[in-house]
């Protein structure tokens, strides 16, 4: 069987903007700290909206500085919020705000610096070192079910914030739709720490009379590692293998995709299953692979099912998966054509002779 793999890569660029908090001018005594959460463009399942969802709490560290800036004096920061949970709340404000369960208030002098990550219930162990300005998520593990995977994110450091700061204000997510509304809160801009891998399939040209049904795609990669965010720059440590012994790891969710569309353009690739979010990692031959299980029919004739040999995801243009990047693997399924090899049996030798008398 011939298999062709076309790789398309699209980077989701997260816009990082540091914004300070806002005080309601009609209630100057209200010094409670609120947040605005923004997803850095496209947790379970990838977040595709630019607005942070209301059903995923995130974690926050906050440090107070009496003098100086975070850039030059972070080691003197006093821990004010120690990995607090921030959730969407309509009790404090009917319009909805993001806030901690315990109310925190702005200091009377100095500044606050905020560092966040999402989701709060991440599978890894989270810690922050203010002297080194390093956020770590140790032993983060990708769920074996694509639909249950967490979209791990880290936030741009929101440094030197005060309750009287002016300038751009963050927007919060409306409870009813993805529209921006009232300016309110410290602007937490999140960035995707993982990659996205998607599989799309189509038939090769000339197979319009054949029905090809993709039953499964099994995806093998590494799924456990440590995220380190230093100076708002992410990197990943050593990752562990998905495989246990020699058992295949069925990573892509989705079954029974019938590939029957015309096959004369790239637009006819059909998405199989849902997006997967593996840990960013270097690709090496024989390590990150996938197999395709599919069945074949022509009219009412069932022509069987097969699983391909493992195929490397390492390519000429893609040698590693990067954070905050989508990789589309477009798979063309072709079939072995039936040819004929005609031969003719030679005349028997020796020749047979018989004499026949006639009158």
Query: For position 225, which CATH number holds?
Result: 2.60.40
Is the same domain home to 166 and 221?
A: no
Is the same domain home to 39 and 180?
A: yes
CA 325 to chain centre: 8
Is the same domain home to 271 and 298?
A: yes
- pLDDT score of 5: 41
- Among the ranges given (49-53, 138-142, 227-231), the one the predictor scored with the smallest mean pLDDT: 49-53
114 within some domain = yes
Asked if pLDDT for residue 346 goes beyond 60, the answer is yes
- pLDDT score of 45: 63
Q: How confident is the model at residue 291 (pLDDT cuts 50, 70, 90)?
A: confident
- pLDDT score of 257: 56
Higher pLDDT, 68 or 11: 68
- pLDDT score of 247: 32
68 within some domain = yes
Is the same domain home to 182 and 295?
A: no
Is the same domain home to 248 and 126?
A: no
Q: What is the mean pLDDT of the chain?
A: 78
Q: Give the mean model confidence (pLDDT) for residues 95-122.
A: 91
Q: Which of residues 168, 192, 216 is at a domain's end?
A: 192
Q: Give the mean model confidence (pLDDT) for residues 39-62.
A: 75
- Among the ranges given (12-16, 209-213, 243-247), the one the predictor scored with the smallest mean pLDDT: 12-16
Is the same domain home to 169 and 199?
A: no
Instruction: Say if residue 93 is exposed, middle or buried (CB neighbours under 10 Å; 0-12, 13-18, 19+).
Output: middle
- Range of 39's domain? 13-192
348 within some domain = no
Q: Which of residues 174, 192, 210 is at a domain's end?
A: 192
56 within some domain = yes
37 within some domain = yes
350 within some domain = no
Is the same domain home to 124 and 199?
A: no
List, for residues 55-107, the tens digit of each pLDDT value: 899 999 999 999 999 999 999 999 999 999 999 887 766 667 888 989 999 99
Is the same domain home to 58 and 106?
A: yes
- pLDDT score of 264: 41
Is the same domain home to 226 and 90?
A: no
What lies within 8 Å, CB to CB, of 10 at 6+ separation is: 325, 326, 328
**Single pTM value for the model:** 0.78
156 within some domain = yes
296 within some domain = yes
- pLDDT score of 44: 53
- pLDDT score of 97: 82
Q: How confident is the model at residue 326 (pLDDT cuts 50, 70, 90)?
A: very high
Is the same domain home to 155 and 24?
A: yes
Q: Give the mean model confidence (pLDDT) for residues 261-273.
A: 60
Tally of domains within the chain: 2
Q: Which of residues 135, 163, 192 is at a domain's end?
A: 192
Asked if pLDDT for residue 7 goes beyond 90, the answer is no
Say what percent of the chain tops pLDDT 90. 41
- pLDDT score of 166: 34
Asked if pLDDT for residue 286 goes beyond 90, the answer is no
Q: Give the mean model confidence (pLDDT) for residues 215-241.
A: 87
């Amino acid at each position: 069987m011939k298999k062709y793999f076309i790789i398309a890569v699209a980077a989701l660029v997260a816009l990082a903007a540091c914004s300070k908090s806002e005080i309601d001018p009609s209630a100057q005594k209200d010094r409670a700290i609120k947040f605005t959460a923004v997803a850095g463009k496209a947790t379970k399942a990838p977040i595709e909206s630019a607005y942070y969802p209301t059903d995923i709490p995130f974690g926050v560290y906050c440090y107070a500085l009496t003098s100086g800036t975070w850039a030059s004096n972070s080691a003197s920061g006093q821990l004010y919020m120690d990995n607090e949970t921030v959730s969407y709340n309509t009790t404090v404000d009917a319009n909805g705000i993001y806030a901690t369960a315990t109310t925190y208030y702005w200091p009377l002098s100095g500044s606050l610096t905020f560092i966040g990550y999402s989701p709060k219930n991440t599978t890894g162990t989270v810690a922050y070192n203010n002297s080194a300005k390093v956020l770590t998520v140790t032993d983060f593990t990708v769920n074996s079910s694509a639909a249950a995977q967490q979209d791990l994110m880290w936030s741009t450091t929101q440094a030197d914030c005060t309750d009287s700061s002016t300038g751009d204000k963050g927007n919060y997510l409306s409870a009813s739709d993805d529209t921006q509304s009232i300016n309110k809160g410290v602007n937490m801009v999140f960035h995707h720490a993982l990659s996205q891998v998607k599989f799309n399939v189509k038939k090769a040209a000339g197979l319009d009379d054949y029905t090809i049904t993709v039953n499964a795609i099994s995806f093998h990669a590494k799924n456990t590692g440590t995220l380190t965010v230093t100076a708002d720059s992410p990197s990943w440590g050593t990752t562990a293998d998905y495989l246990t012994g020699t058992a295949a790891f069925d990573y892509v969710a989705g079954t029974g995709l019938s590939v029957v569309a015309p096959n004369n353009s790239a637009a006819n690739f059909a998405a199989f299953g849902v997006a997967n979010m593996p840990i960013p990692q270097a690709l090496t031959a024989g390590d990150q692979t996938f197999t395709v299980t599919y069945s074949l029919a022509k009219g009412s004739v069932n022509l069987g099912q097969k699983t391909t040999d493992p195929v490397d995801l390492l390519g000429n243009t893609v040698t590693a998966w990067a954070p905050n990047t989508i990789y589309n693997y477009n798979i063309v399924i072709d079939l072995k054509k039936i040819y004929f090899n005609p031969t003719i049996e030679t005349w028997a030798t020796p020749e047979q002779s018989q004499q026949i008398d006639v009158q």
